[in-house]
Amino acid sequence: MGYMVDGVYHVGDDVTATLPSGEFERSRSTVRNWIGDADFPAEAGRYHLFVAWNCPWAHRTLLIRALKGLDHITVSYALPNRTDQGWVFDAEGEFADSLLNARAVHEVYSADPIRYTGRLTVPVLWDKVARRMVSNESADIVRMLNDVFDGPDFAPEALRDQIDEWNALIYKSVNNGVYRAGFASTQAAYEKAAYEVFATLDRIDAHLAESRFLCGDQFTEADLRLFPTLARFEVAYHYAFRCNLKKLSDYAHLWPYAKAIYAMPGVAETVRFDIYKRGYFSASEKRNPLGIIPIGPIVDWGTDQVGR
């Protein structure tokens, strides 16, 4: 995928870190400014997102943008499959970058004067006036867009402790848990991660038997951060990442909950099942050496499915 040192791009596999135990360890995001600070005022029309449809971390930011009606935040979508240049853009069309005319995400990072060092990830929140990155940490982007712009509040102060508890559990065991299973390099590491995924999904399913959403009757940031993993589960993680103890549709409460979120206004437009399959089943020496994309599964998310 490649990485950057002092603002210079290098081709090489810096995508994952594997511990001696064979467990996958995700690198931390390092650009973590905040809208509302002196350098980044909360002005409509000032900000832009660089995302990829099949990235679940980027999906979080598309969801908060859609659910709060933040159309004034413009978006560039990278191609579904990465190259030795990392996330890349077409010259024109759906996967072109109309803001900076970048041909790769590393060109976005190099356009910032900070001389970045690290992985080249999406999402990136960009300040169009200052021509600087605000953040490449999806959790921060979701929270700041919720807090600084008008619209529904998905992290009300009275629920923040609950939201943060769910976020911590879901990130470790579900959001990143499927990757810990999919990128494990030993049987023991894979089983540890995969069983943890399903133990947490079982726990959430039991909770949803008595609660409409994770924090009661109100849809919150915790639900928003869980949904991108659920949206990819049947078409990607169950097969490509071997998280196959159960399907999402096997859950009595979690499955209707996921479909109810999908049916919320604006959510379906942030989902691209076809691109998820193209991305997760792209050619990979370890996971899918021939790069054959399966024709299924057929999953009934509802009548307004996007990219079936």
Cβ-contact 122, 41 below 8 angstroms: no
Please identify, in words, the CATH class of the domain defined by 3-148. alpha beta
pLDDT confidence of residue 285: 75
Domain ranges across the chain: 3-148, 157-265
pLDDT confidence of residue 16: 44
Between CA 301 and CA 122 the distance in angstroms is: 26
The pLDDT-based confidence of 265 (bands split at 50, 70, 90) is very high
The pLDDT-based confidence of 2 (bands split at 50, 70, 90) is confident
pLDDT confidence of residue 279: 85
Per-residue pLDDT for 19 more than 80?
no
What does the pLDDT average to over 135-162?
Answer: 98
pLDDT digits (tens, 9 = 90+) for 168-193: 999 999 999 999 999 999 999 999 99
pLDDT confidence of residue 1: 66
Bridge partners of residue 47, in order along the sequence: 127
Percent of the chain beyond pLDDT 90? 83
With 0-12 / 13-18 / 19 or more C-beta atoms within 10 angstroms meaning exposed / middle / buried, residue 153 is middle
Q: Which residue has the tokens 């976020």?
A: 167
pLDDT confidence of residue 24: 56
pLDDT confidence of residue 263: 97
Q: How many alpha carbons lie under 13 Å from residue 58 in its C-beta half-sphere? A: 24
pLDDT confidence of residue 25: 56
Bridge partners of residue 216, in order along the sequence: 213
**Non-local CB neighbours of 94 within 8 Å, separated by 6+ positions:** 77
Per-residue pLDDT for 286 more than 80?
no
Q: Provide the pairing of β-strand 47-52 with 74-78.
A: parallel
What does the pLDDT average to over 139-146?
Answer: 98
Cβ-contact 40, 33 below 8 angstroms: yes
**Non-local CB neighbours of 150 within 8 Å, separated by 6+ positions:** 68
Whole-number CA gyration radius for the chain: 19
pLDDT confidence of residue 306: 53
Q: Work out whether the CA dihedral 95, 96, 97, 101 comes out positive or negative.
A: positive
Which positions are catalytic? 55, 179
Per-residue pLDDT for 307 more than 50?
no
**Non-local CB neighbours of 308 within 8 Å, separated by 6+ positions:** 273, 274
One-letter identity of residue 3: Y
Cβ-contact 251, 201 below 8 angstroms: yes
Please identify, in words, the CATH class of the domain defined by 157-265. mainly alpha
Percent of the chain beyond pLDDT 70? 92
pLDDT digits (tens, 9 = 90+) for 25-82: 556 668 999 999 999 999 999 999 999 999 999 999 999 999 999 999 999 999 998 9
pLDDT digits (tens, 9 = 90+) for 69-128: 999 999 999 999 899 999 999 999 999 999 999 999 999 999 999 999 999 999 999 999
What does the pLDDT average to over 201-224?
Answer: 98
Q: Which of 17-21, 53-57, 136-140, 172-176 has the lowest mean pLDDT?
A: 17-21
Spatial CA neighbour of 190 closest among 172, 202, 178? 178
Q: Which residue has the tokens 């002092």?
A: 6
The pLDDT-based confidence of 308 (bands split at 50, 70, 90) is very low
Per-residue pLDDT for 149 more than 70?
yes
The pLDDT-based confidence of 282 (bands split at 50, 70, 90) is confident
